[in-house]
Amino acid sequence: TAETEAQEFWDIYKLDVVSIPTNEPVRRIDFNDEVYLTRREKYNAIIEEIIECYNSKRPVLVGTISVEVSETLSRMLKRSGVPHNVLNAKYHQMEAEIVSKAGQPGAVTIATNMAGRGTDIKLGPGVVKHQNCALLKPRQDEEICPFIKELKCHEKVPCGLHIIGTERHESRRIDRQLRGRSGRQGDPGSSKFYLSLEDDLMRLFGSDRLARVMDRLGVKEGEVITHGMVTKAIERAQRRVEMQNFAIRKHTLEYDNVMNSQREVVYDRRLAALERTSIKEEILELIDSVLQSLIDKYCPEKEYAENWDWTNLKSELLHIFLLNLDIKEADIPALSPDRLFEQVKGAVMHFYNQKEKLYGEEIMRRLERYAVLMTIDKHWRDHMYEMDQLKTGIGLRAYGQRDPLVEYKREAYRLFAEMIEAVDKEIVSMVYKLQVNMPERSREERRRELARAGMVASHQESTGMGFGSARAAAEDAPPPAAGGETVMAQGAQRGKAQPFKREGQKVGRNDPCPCGSGKKYKKCHGAGEG
């Protein structure tokens, strides 16, 4: 059945489709479709076909496209007194038993697309008439030709499972799967589809042409058209539907490929943070990258140092690195972007090394991993939401004579680049700002050890450029509510809220006003309350 989708398999997955020959020759006869004017005529013809097979003790499998159609046929069969089983995925416990009995003589089974197409229906005893069935011969030679004419096998098949399709599906693959329930492993069988001009497929892709043909032929109500040309016309309509659905799936895949390429980049980065024992090198690269981007943004090389955006640069350095940049005006003209980068990098790396020695390498690595995972997860969730919003409205670009797919790729790349830049900045900021809740005793011991080793120094001592530090404020921040090595952001402890205390006794709204006016409190001084 994959042959009908061979082109799609190659275009999307680059896979070839190979048809494997059957184990036994196929003995099934596929009759031409019967086309009626209305659904009512079609259903009546189906019921007549089922009754005829039931009287001749042939098993019948009726394939429908919806539960509503199966229930309609079931009601019609009940009125006709034909016992049958309905397989529509409503009663899962009974399905196995229903399918196992579908090949018994005189069994009538109605199944929807939801169940039954992947089941091998075993034929019961007496269904295959070995002495009377010409389909059991490997070929119709001169010895059995008279026998075929006697049995009228070209019009009615005397044995095997008979398949009835109530409507053509949009995909030929599903029709082939339904036909394939009969004639398995060399068993005889037959299949036939019943159509009407009111069917969805015919109404959308072929009813006008067939209606003109039926008018020219003078087809009256209740009459049927059965011809190979009609069957081929219906298959052409199915191909058109398949091509349309393939175009929709391919279009959706092209949009999904944009998101998939971004997903691979983000997931690879997140997986590296989970699997590696240390991501210090990545953090150091991020520090250099973020710092260099700030220098390039606010300190362009083509402008004089006096014209640099010092205000935003100081704000960014304080926000990301906790670094208070304080440069004397006399030193500004001699600065270059490279020199400023090296000096600021020395200050921020000194602070990074101090923090690593304060907490230890093991805790610092865990802190860095936490910063990477939390930041990526948060920004990736927001980015997926933005991409969904972009995909919803990108089709409006077509009104401006622009290809929505090209515009989607351009906007998606811009949003992804902005997300990566924001992720890098926030990771570095969290590495510098986050603290570990350590016991006070071990914290003081670590500070004394660093002081004895001469390791505690301010940024100003490390650079000589007047860099102040927010490290002291970070170290004196209160511990988090939870114990252990919980990572927390820098913040200040708020004072405990005090409950409201009323002065004097509470006065009811209907009580006399305390002012002595004789009025109720709600009419006097309490008029503006509640």
DSSP labels, 121-187: -PPPTTTS-TTT-GGGSSS--TTTHHHHHHHTTTT---SSEEEEESS--SSHHHHHHHHTTSSGGG-
What backbone torsions phi and psi does residue 34 show, to the nearest 5 degrees? -105, 125
Distance CA 479, CA 490 (A): 10
DSSP at 9:
I
Q: What is the pLDDT of residues 244-287, one digit of tens each?
A: 888 888 888 888 989 999 999 999 999 999 999 899 999 999 99
Q: How much is the pLDDT for 444?
A: 66
What backbone torsions phi and psi does residue 62 show, to the nearest 5 degrees? -100, 120
HSE-CB of 322 using CA atoms within 13 angstroms: 23
Domains and CATH numbers, the chain: 2-249 (3.40.50.300), 276-488 (1.10.3060.10)
Strands (E), 395-508: 435-436, 468-469, 487-488
Q: How much is the pLDDT for 142?
A: 52
pTM of the predicted structure, to 2 decimals = 0.59
Q: How far is CA 477 from CA 169, 438, 440, 489, 492, in A?
A: 69, 12, 12, 9, 6
Q: Which residue has the tokens 């209740």?
A: 222
Q: How much is the pLDDT for 273?
A: 93
- The β-bridge relationship of strands 225-226 and 34-36 is antiparallel
Q: Which residues of the chain have a pLDDT value below 70?
A: 1, 89-93, 96, 114-119, 129-158, 204-211, 213-214, 217-220, 222, 227-228, 438-504, 528-530
Q: How much is the pLDDT for 222?
A: 67
- End-to-end, the C-alpha distance of the chain in Å comes to 75
- Nearest-10 Cα torsion for 99, 180, 108, 230: 150
